[in-house]
Amino acid sequence: MAKKLSRNPADNNQTLFSRLAESLRRDILANRMPPGHKLPSESELQASFGVSRITVRQALSSLHAEGLIEKINGKGSFVTRPNQLPDMGPLIGFYEHMRKQGRNAIGRILSVREISAPAAAAHALDVPLGHTLLTMRSLRLVDGKPLALVQAYAEPALMSSLIQEDVNTNDVVVLLETRLGHRLRSNRIEAQAIPANASLAKLLEVSRGAPLLRIDFTPIDASGQSMVYSEMYFRGDSFTYKAVVKS
């Protein structure tokens, strides 16, 4: 890990510790140092980056405050594992929410294909219009009956990984954190009521024009990167979304 931090007359301890912390942060968020990985010792970091011990300690304190590492007395500093996801309600934790109610929830993938990013997906994922994405369309069933249709968009490699980890029985945010090692910071959510068009009415087994709840959501990782953009259409007669907003 020999990554000497270049110096110039404007450098000071604050600048150096910030740059050291950012270098380690990038390795953690990119899974080059996966959860449970032991960081080099303070003296090893000093030698590798060419900084003082106080700079190393400031950088480690910063990462500890962010929850990215933990210090175990007598053993050193280790990359933390992503936190257990809180109960975020029936939208983000759809499958878990339904199972807690004793109901059988499962997904059925209808299609997976590469597309040029449409405007909504490009904006949500911060990619150019027409950028190549992989989109997955799936139906979510509860007790054998269709409850929601999901149209999800992501970079091809990420979407392929999510599909391989089984999006038919696991929520996307759970897979991102517990299986793929991403650390999520927030979810961007937008909801609106819409009438069912012919295609949605057929798939969700409702009459054309029946009220649906459309909820778009985009999980954001710790670095501020949008991960997946999903358009979700729920039957208005079978689904209620509740949320608690804290200031």
- Tell me the C-alpha distance between 169 and 104, whole Å: 10
pLDDT at 112: 98
Please check whether residues 119 and 176 belong to one and the same domain. Answer: yes
Tell me, letter by letter, the H, E, C secondary structure of 85-103.
CCCCHHHHCHHHHHHHCCC
Q: For the segment 130-180, what is each residue's pLDDT rounded down to a tens digit?
A: 999 999 999 999 999 999 999 999 999 999 999 999 899 989 988 888 788
Full DSSP string of the chain: ---PPP--TT--HHHHHHHHHHHHHHHHHTTSS-TTPBPPPHHHHHHHHT--HHHHHHHHHHHHHTTSEEEETTTEEEEPPPPPPP--HHHHTHHHHHHHTT--EEEEEEEEEEEEPPHHHHHHHT--TT-EEEEEEEEEEETTEEEEEEEEEE-HHHHHHHHHT-TTTS-HHHIIIIIT---EEEEEEEEEEEE--HHHHHHHT--TT-EEEEEEEEEEETTS-B--EEEEEEETTT---------
Q: Residue 51: which CATH number?
A: 1.10.10.10
Please check whether residues 67 and 111 belong to one and the same domain. Answer: no
Q: Does residue 242 form part of some domain?
A: no
Please check whether residues 165 and 208 belong to one and the same domain. Answer: yes
- Residue finishing a domain among 79, 114, 132: 79
pLDDT at 9: 45
Phi, psi of 92 (to 5 degrees): -70, -40
Q: Does residue 241 form part of some domain?
A: no
pLDDT at 95: 86
pLDDT in tens, the chain (247 residues): 545 555 454 444 557 888 898 899 888 877 788 878 899 999 999 999 999 999 999 999 988 887 888 888 888 899 887 654 444 444 567 887 888 888 899 999 999 999 999 999 999 999 999 999 999 999 999 999 999 999 999 999 999 999 999 899 989 988 888 788 888 888 899 999 999 999 999 999 999 999 999 999 999 987 789 999 999 999 988 877 666 555 4
Domain count, the chain: 2
- Residue finishing a domain among 30, 56, 79: 79
Residues near 238 by beta carbon (within 8 Å), at least 6 away in sequence: 142, 145, 147
Please check whether residues 98 and 205 belong to one and the same domain. Answer: yes
Residues near 193 by beta carbon (within 8 Å), at least 6 away in sequence: 211, 212, 213, 214, 236
pLDDT at 247: 42
Please check whether residues 111 and 73 belong to one and the same domain. Answer: no
Please check whether residues 67 and 142 belong to one and the same domain. Answer: no
- Residue finishing a domain among 32, 53, 79: 79
Q: Residue 181: which CATH number?
A: 3.40.1410.10
Q: Does residue 5 form part of some domain?
A: no
Please check whether residues 72 and 97 belong to one and the same domain. Answer: no
pLDDT at 2: 47
Q: How far is the CA of 108 from the CAs of 30, 96, 142, 178, 218, in angstroms?
A: 30, 16, 11, 22, 21
Q: Does residue 240 form part of some domain?
A: no
188: its two tokens: 């961007």
Residue range of the domain that includes 203: 89-235
Please check whether residues 30 and 150 belong to one and the same domain. Answer: no
